[in-house]
Structures are given as structure tokens and as C-alpha cells.
């Protein structure tokens, strides 16, 4: 490593970035369990503004499901947002793909919605909370939730989970709600491929909005970079993963500042330690109230 030049590190970083971006091209939400003849959707103009008001009027949508009947969605429990282990707490397999007004090019990742179905005879009419964890490529309505098999089944009357899933596509209503992750602080997962000149991090478990629209990084000292104490904006890589490409060796520990959709900012001071490593998770001491 001591003989490796900054330029070669930069080349490796660029290659890693391409790997991350290529993940967007793999299958997510491509096996929704519905009959294409049921879609009947035209060329609607999507309006994302209707999906950002907490506990606003119930809005009509349609829902499908994908993955295993009692699963968390994709086989790897991940998705286009990059979240890990969505079959475990706090996601508990209650994830959903969202079409563009919900996914918002990745900035909708982590947002929470209450949903309910009432028209199908197997529907219970109860509300359930789902989290946007993935992207839906094939919308069947202006607002389309492609739910995990678990989340879809939870909308059913007792004992009718499989019968409701057999319907394939159902009418639902939704409203946005604040996310609540009891006992958790905001976490940062340093992504595989990160290096001294390329740093990528997944941000997760944000109470409130649940999403992140900007991430900034501050180095501890910067002999060849920006002055100490200056925030450097990171770029959205994909989903809820943000990256920083530099022409100098990054100096850890790092502080990270995040801003959510409502404009509230939080600073996780020196949350990434000096001895950080790729594919490691670091818990902060901050959380949106």
C-alpha cells in the first residue's frame, strides 16, 4: 500500500463507483405478482407534492407485491435504496418499492407511509406502516407501492393473507407519516470499495422524515484538502448512499452532517473513527426528535 500512488487509488475509486452505480441496473421490484392485463394505466403526470405532507388526506394508489410470500422483498434483503437486512428490526420486512413520486430518485428512501386497502373482499381495512426501501420500475398507477410479500399479506383479514396475495393487484389508500425507530440512533454504513480517496456511506434509521436530501463530510485535518472545519458536500451515489471523490487522502475521523426533506440538519461529530474500514457500521449519538 505504501507504494501505491494517489492516481492509482483514484482509478480504483472510480471503478468502485461504477460498481455501485451498476447496482441500479439489476433487478429490483421486477417480479411483482400481478397480471399485466389488470394494469390499465395511461400516461399520467406524476405529482410528488401530494406525497410529502404528514397525515394529509388519504390518497388513492395501487399495490402489488414481489419476492417471497412472507419475505422482505428481494432475495438479498436489500434494494435500490441500499438498506441492509430489511428482514430485521426496524424494517421487519415491511418494506416497499415506490414509483418515482415516492422513490424520488432515491431521496424518498426511508420515508414512511400508512397504507390500507378496503375494496378487495380479503382486505381488513386496517392501516399498516411501510418504509420505502426500493424502486419500482413498472408503475401501474400514478402512485404504486410494490410491497414485500409480508407487507402485502398484512393488509388481509385474519387467515386470508394468501388469498389477498392471490389477487395480485389491489386498490389502496396512503398517507405519509413520521418514521419512528425506537431505541435507534442514526447509523452510517461505510460501503465496500471505500478508500483513502473515495468514501461512500449509507445513511439509515432517521426518525421523522426518514429520508436524507443532503450529506456533508468534515475531515479532522486536511493537509492537502479543504481547510480544517469546512464541510465538503457529498454527492448522492444511489439510493441512500452518498459518496465523496477527492484528489487527496482523506483525513479521519470524519464528522457527518445530514439534512432531511423538512430542512432540519443534524451533525454526527467524528462518527467515522480514524481506523474506519469498508463494510463497517458506525452508530451515531444523534437522532431527529
Count the helix, strand and coil residues of the chain and give each as a percent rounded to the nearest 5: 15, 30, 55
Tell me the C-alpha distance between 268 and 205, whole Å: 13
> Residue 90, preceding bond cis, omega within 30 degrees?
yes
Q: What is the DSSP string of 125-183?
A: ---EEEEEEEE-SS-SSSSEEEEEHHHHHTTBPTT-HHHHHHH-SEEEEEEEE-B--TT
pTM for the predicted model, two decimal places = 0.82
Tell me the C-alpha distance between 264 and 251, whole Å: 27
Tell me the C-alpha distance between 118 and 116, whole Å: 7
pLDDT at 138: 86
pLDDT at 226: 62
Q: Which of the 8 DSSP states describes residue 289? A: -
Ordered per-residue pLDDT tens for the chain, 289 residues: 443 343 444 444 443 443 333 333 333 564 445 444 444 433 333 333 344 577 788 999 999 999 999 999 876 667 899 999 999 999 999 999 999 999 999 999 999 999 999 899 999 999 999 999 999 988 899 999 999 999 999 999 999 999 999 999 999 999 999 999 999 999 999 999 999 999 999 999 999 999 999 999 999 975 565 666 799 999 999 999 999 999 999 999 999 999 999 999 999 999 999 999 999 999 999 999 8
pLDDT at 7: 44
Domains identified in the chain and CATH numbers: 6-22+182-283 (2.60.40.760), 31-177 (2.40.40.10)
pLDDT at 118: 87
Amino acid at each position: 500500500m505504501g507504494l501505491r500512488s494517489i492516481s492509482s487509488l483514484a482509478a480504483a475509486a472510480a471503478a468502485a463507483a461504477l460498481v455501485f452505480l451498476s447496482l441500479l441496473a439489476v433487478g429490483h421490484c421486477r417480479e411483482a405478482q400481478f397480471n399485466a392485463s389488470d394494469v390499465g394505466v395511461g400516461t399520467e403526470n406524476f405529482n410528488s407534492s401530494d406525497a410529502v405532507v404528514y397525515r394529509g388526506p388519504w390518497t388513492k394508489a395501487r399495490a402489488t407485491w414481489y419476492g417471497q410470500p412472507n419475505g422482505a422483498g428481494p432475495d438479498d434483503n436489500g434494494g435500490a435504496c441500499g438498506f441492509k437486512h430489511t428482514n430485521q428490526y426496524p424494517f421487519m420486512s415491511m418494506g416497499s418499492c415506490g414509483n418515482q413520486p415516492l422513490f424520488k430518485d432515491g431521496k424518498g428512501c426511508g420515508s414512511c407511509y400508512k397504507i390500507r386497502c378496503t375494496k378487495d373482499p380479503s382486505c381488513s381495512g386496517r392501516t399498516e406502516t411501510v418504509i420505502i426501501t426500493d424502486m419500482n420500475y413498472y408503475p401501474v398507477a400514478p402512485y404504486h407501492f410494490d410491497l414485500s410479500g409480508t407487507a402485502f399479506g398484512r393488509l388481509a383479514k385474519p387467515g386470508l393473507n394468501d388469498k389477498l396475495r392471490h389477487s395480485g393487484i389491489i386498490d389502496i389508500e396512503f398517507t405519509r407519516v413520521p418514521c419512528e425507530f425506537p431505541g435507534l440512533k442514526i447509523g452510517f454504513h461505510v460501503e465496500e470499495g471505500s478508500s483513502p480517496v473515495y468514501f461512500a456511506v449509507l445513511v439509515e434509521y432517521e426518525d421523522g422524515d426518514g429520508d436524507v436530501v443532503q450529506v456533508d463530510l468534515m475531515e479532522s485535518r486536511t493537509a492537502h484538502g479543504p481547510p480544517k472545519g469546512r464541510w465538503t458536500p457529498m454527492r448522492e451515489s444511489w439510493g441512500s448512499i452518498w459518496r465523496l471523490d477527492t484528489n487527496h487522502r482523506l483525513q479521519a475521523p470524519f464528522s457527518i452532517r445530514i439534512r432531511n426533506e423538512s430542512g432540519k440538519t443534524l451533525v454526527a461529530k467524528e462518527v467515522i473513527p480514524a481506523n474506519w474500514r469498508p463494510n463497517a457500521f458506525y452508530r451515531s449519538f444523534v437522532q431527529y426528535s
